[in-house]
Amino acid sequence: MKSENKICAILSTVTRNEKLSPLINQRPVATLPFDCKYRLIDFPLSSLANAHVNSIFMAANQGETQSIFDHMGSGSEWGLDSFKKRYFVYIQQDFERLKEQGLPYFDQQISFLRKSKAAYTVLLDSKFVCNVDLTAVLKIHKASDKHITAIYKKVTPDMAEEFDTIIRFDENNKASSSFLGQLTSVSEKEALSLNMFIVDTEWLIKFLQRMQEEGEYASSSRLLRKYMVDMDINTYEYTGYMSNIRTIKSYYDANMSMLDSSNFTALLYSSQPVRTKVNNEVPTYFSKESNVTNSQLSSGCIVEGNVKDSLISRRSKIEKNASVENTMMFTDSKIKSGAQVKYAIVDKHVVIENDVRVEGTLENPVVIPKNMIVTENIIQK
């Protein structure tokens, strides 16, 4: 028997976008750092936790699960560490291999949905940084008498990429969808699908069975986006903060927007808390010679130099006479004495040696890959 208020979820972390290289060379998009201490996956996980979702089916790319497990661990921060509340991780390429062999490839998802005994299922991914109140969406979904509710955000077209899904409404307010790249004309504001849906679980099971019989894509959320044009769906407009992570520039801008207190508060300190992995660190140390303005720093850092308009992650060190401006520093990075870093994304375990200059631009921030030791100037215009 299904509980009328119980929700389960299918969370995809398989998004790949080479425009984010080299940041995703050793991690999935889902575990990209955000605002010093968060990861992109924290946002969908927190939305699910705040809606009391206690069972999650996760699809990950082969070779990318370690980063996810390192961050999520037992899942305790999101209430997923008990017998009745847990998450399961499956490999997307396994489903695709089953499809190629002519074998049932949605059976594991269907089995998960049945065992969940949930009346509703949330489908979502970690490409969009947003803080959606799924409890509010569920109320709208229940009142609609429709099988699917799609969540969207009105944006200017430049906030979408070619294969993002745009929802259009006809004169009767019936919704359909197309990829942005398929549209012959764009409006000043478009309804961008956040790849987030609430669906009736029984309907979803039948839909996946039919798609499996027809040999369709081995991705449930991708199928929903494709077939929205043929379905009578309900929609929900999300009006809160949102960033679409599609390029190095958009990723940099999304992070830097957190230095604006209104964005910071809207995303991270609304009535919907954002949860992340807990790290117990010593407080950050600021020497008398340090000078820090309009920046955010996580715990465990040592700051002896100058920091301006920057985001500094855990256990980073900025030595005396070093300067960091308009920069993101990931965990365990070090800027040595006399070095100057500006408009940069400095990945984990990077060392910028003494008196070295690393500089990008606002439009083209320079990325220093993970574990790199920089001994010569890097100037990117």
Give the domain ranges of the chain: 3-268, 285-379
Please tell me which residue, 85 or 34, carries the higher pLDDT value: 34
pLDDT tens digits for 25-34?
999 999 999 9
Bridge partners (DSSP) listed for residue 130: 242
pLDDT tens digits for 56-70?
999 999 999 999 999
Please tell me which residue, 83 or 284, carries the higher pLDDT value: 284
The model's confidence at residue 169, banded by pLDDT at 50, 70 and 90, is confident
Residue 250 above 70 pLDDT? yes
pLDDT at 3: 65
pTM score: 0.95
Superfamily designation of domain 285-379:
Hexapeptide repeat proteins (2.160.10.10)
Average pLDDT of the chain, as a whole number: 94
* Fold agreement (3-268, 285-379): no
pLDDT at 277: 94
Name the CATH topology of 3-268: Spore Coat Polysaccharide Biosynthesis Protein SpsA; Chain A (3.90.550)
pLDDT at 25: 94
Residue 2 above 60 pLDDT? no
pLDDT at 1: 40
User: Which one, of 6, 104, 15, lies nearest residue 53 by Cα?
Assistant: 6
Question: What percentage of the chain carries pLDDT values higher than 90?
Answer: 82
pLDDT at 240: 97
pLDDT tens digits for 92-103?
999 999 999 999
pLDDT mean over 190-206: 95
